[in-house]
Amino acid sequence: MRARDVATEYETVGLDADALDAARLMAEHRLPALLVVDELGAPKAILPASQMIKTLVPEYVVEDPALAAVVDERHADRLCLALQGRKVRDCLPKTTPPLVVAAPDDTALEIAAQMARARSPLVAVVDHDKAGPRLLGVITASHLLERLLAVTSG
């Protein structure tokens, strides 16, 4: 099983895309993360849903979770307002982990090792040719597990 055989189409967003729209896309499709691409469509970063949620939570609550109990539901229901006017690039962690990229011929074990090392919910499969990098698709951790389990049960 090679990366090119497992990669599937996946939702992407640009660095300057609206953060609220990106959050809606994650929620609507129940995505563990979004693949962030540059203006040419080349993968640049992974924005995990957990990072998007962290963007919503006020910093003082992140630092002291006990404070969450004193925020009333009316204010808690407005957390997503924190995304208004922000771009996807504003939601990426300050120290963005390196993007996990697989070559088309990488094996399932190579992909799994990269995911494990980076603790990444997805891997971008990128082919490099004379025109530059070309995104072939994405492999999510759950899809990789599904494929690996199919081999053991079949």
Q: What is the pLDDT of residues 12-70, one digit of tens each?
A: 999 999 999 999 999 999 999 999 998 888 899 999 998 888 888 877 777 877 877 77
Higher pLDDT, 105 or 129: 105
Which DSSP category does 96 fall into?
A: P
pLDDT > 90 fraction of the chain, expressed in percent and rounded: 49
Which residue spans within 16-99 are E strands per DSSP? 33-37, 43-48
Higher pLDDT, 21 or 82: 21
Q: Other CB atoms closer than 10 Å to residue 31's CB: what's the count?
A: 21
What is d(CA 3, CA 124) in angstroms, rounded to the nearest whole number? 9
Q: Other CB atoms closer than 10 Å to residue 68's CB: what's the count?
A: 13
Close Cβ partners of 79 (under 8 Å, ≥ 6 residues apart): 56, 57
